[in-house]
Structure 1
Amino acid sequence: MLPLVFLDLDGTIIGTDGGVSDAVWQAIEVAHAAGIILAACTGRACQGVAQQIAQRLAPHTAHVFHNGALVANADGHILQSHTLERAELARLVEHARTIGATIEFYTADAIYVEQLDWRCEHHAEVLQIELTRRDLDDVAQSEDVLRAHWIVAPEQLEAALALHLAGCQIGTASSPALPESVFASVTRAGVSKGSAARFVADALGVALEHTMAIGDSHGDLPVLEIVGHPRVMGDAPGELTRRFATLASISQDGVIEALREAMMWKKR
């Protein structure tokens, strides 16, 4: 079997209803019983639904949150973190105000937003996370921010990403449970799901060639590109399905097929 599997959440195991199907949980339990370590690898914070899923996947295992900016156990114990520069955060605040778009700042234990709108309120409701309303200039100067997070309408994404930040990188994503919005996560340059997955594998003493990652969006590319067994969901963008072995869609619980494959794998 493969000893370690990285699981994206939204669009991979979390469907349109905002939860994980019973069939997928059953497959996860079988894989866990077989000895496979299952690690969440998500853009979400270590709060709410994501933290609940991580606890059920493996309470004492390292999981990847914030698109790689945070590696923590399911109880929130931090193993590795990377923060954004204050100058970059200030530029993001100015840009968000200029274009009238919603941006959130995430620390290890809080989520800050300047203006509550229906998009961020719906996002918080579905993810079961708590938002704190606060002047983001103040947050930028006084808090250790791991990730900035755009929540915009699809037609606003280009404007949000027009700001060039030399010390940062951006990963975009969507969620079947939040079809009205698209998301873009800003992390420090060099920080991604891939860099965090490498850290987790090294900490566990597992060679990356003997790991699997399952994802569905461009934000998963950094981890898909470094593992030995990358798999993507059937409803992933064509750029991904053309490059990587493809499973059934989220509505068909495609991740179950990959977990079975992980259990059947034998080292040559």
Structure 2
Amino acid sequence: MVRLIAIDMDGTLLGPDHTISKKNKEAILEAQSRGIEVVIATGRSFSEAYYPVTDEGLTVPFICLNGAEVRKNDGELLSATYLAESEIDKIVSILEEQTIDYQLFIGKTVYTKSIEDQIDTFVQLALAANQVPPIDDIRAEVMNRVEIGLVKEVPSLAPIIEKHKQEINKIFGTSFNKIHLDNARQALKSITGLAVSSSGAGNLEITNINAQKGIALERLAKSKGIAMENVMAIGDNYNDLSMLKVAGHSVAMGNAPQEIKDACKSVTTTNEFDGVGTAIESALRLKI
């Protein structure tokens, strides 16, 4: 029987407009009322994840940055995993050689050379799910983060790397050129100690090999005395694979690539049509 549910955000819990539907919210609250633990497992930083969730009145812990951070529902840091300092220059060199733009995720802050790149990241995630992105809403959301200091635009990332080299949780690369992305992915995989995944066709998510959603989820479940066979994971993309593979009940979103669907035990509806709520309701009804 399910005792813990891990839910991805973009393309999963959040609809195309980056909000949580009434059905998804009510399903999560119902699960919690029955004593089931619910955790958000996202590639976003804590600050990017926290507000869309808590604005809907939901109280949950967070696996952030693809597992590089685990935080309590109030933001208290439980664990953090950083990219090895010795690998940062290699990663940056590969990305720059392939002319791939990148962002640095350091704790609660995202550093970028272009706010437009940050906006385009979320636009591309929607397009990857074959949905029409609400660009004005996405822009307003990102600009609000800029205003409160959660996203910072800088002329160069080099000084940030020099100052925070021991504190980088994730490097996020974006490009419209598939060949450049594939070349970078292959080169990055040759570096021992890295996990290289993606949350959409036009990006690369680079973390420490020990910073993956599946690893963080296993540790969280163990800390609560919950066997993995009693864990449900719901996701839509390649950065979700590690947790989908270790969960006893794996659910792919209807908007997920076929490879993700093939890796899961079941497939729910799309994020546009309350896929998370539908999956949770089914689990509660069937008492799986």
> TM-score band (shorter)?
0.7 to 0.9
Structure 2 SS opposite 1:242:
helix
Q: Deviations over 1:6-43 (max 9, x none)?
A: 00111111121121222222222222222222100110
Task: State percent identity of aligned pairs.
Answer: 24
Within-5 A mapping of 1:87-102: 87-102=86-101
What residue is the counterpart of 2:70 in the other structure?
71
Shift of 1:63: 1.6
Two-structure CA RMSD over aligned residues (Å): 2.3
1:149 aligns with 2:193: no
Could you say which residue in structure 1 is the equivalent of 2:29?
Answer: 29
C-alpha contact (below 8 Å) 1:119/1:152 kept by paired residues: no
1:61-210 maps to which residues of 2 (within 5 A)?
Answer: 61-113=60-112, 115-116=113-114, 118-123=116-121, 125=139, 126=141, 129=145, 130-132=150-152, 133=154, 135-143=156-164, 144-153=167-176, 155=178, 156-164=180-188, 165-174=191-200, 182-210=202-230
- Give how far 1:208 is off: 1.0
Against the structure 1 CA distance between its residues 13 and 121, is the aligned structure 2 distance closer, same or farther, given a 3 Å change threshold?
closer
The count of aligned residue pairs is 258
**Structure 2 length as normaliser, TM-score?**
0.81
Q: Secondary structure at the match of 1:166?
A: coil
- C-alpha separation in 1, matches of 2:25 and 2:73: 17
Structure-1 separation of matches of 2:109 and 2:254: 34
Q: Which amino acid aligns with 1:233?
A: M
Bigger helix fraction: 2
Shift of 1:204: 1.4
Give the letter for the 2:118 counterpart: C
C-alpha distance after superposition, 1:37-95 (max 9, x if no partner): 210011011013x1124445753x53200001111123221111110112221223333
One-letter amino acid of the structure 1 residue matched with residue 101 of structure 2:
T
Task: Give 2:134's aligned residue.
Answer: none
Q: Counterparts of 2:169 and 2:81 in 1: how far apart (Å)?
A: 6
CA distance in 1, matches of 2:252, 2:217: 16
Per-residue CA deviation, residues 160-201 of structure 1 (Å, 9 max, x unaligned), is 424332221111113xxxxxx732210111321000001111
SS of residue matched to 1:199: helix
Unaligned runs of 5+ in 1: 175-180
Residue 258 (structure 1) aligned with residue 279 (structure 2): yes
Structure 2, unmatched stretches of 5+, are 123-138
- Which letter does structure 1 place at the counterpart of 2:73? A
Contact 1:169 1:191 in 2 (8 A): yes
1:46 touches 1:74 (CA, 8 Å); kept in 2?
no
- For the Cα contact (< 8 Å) 2:6–2:232, is it kept in 1? yes
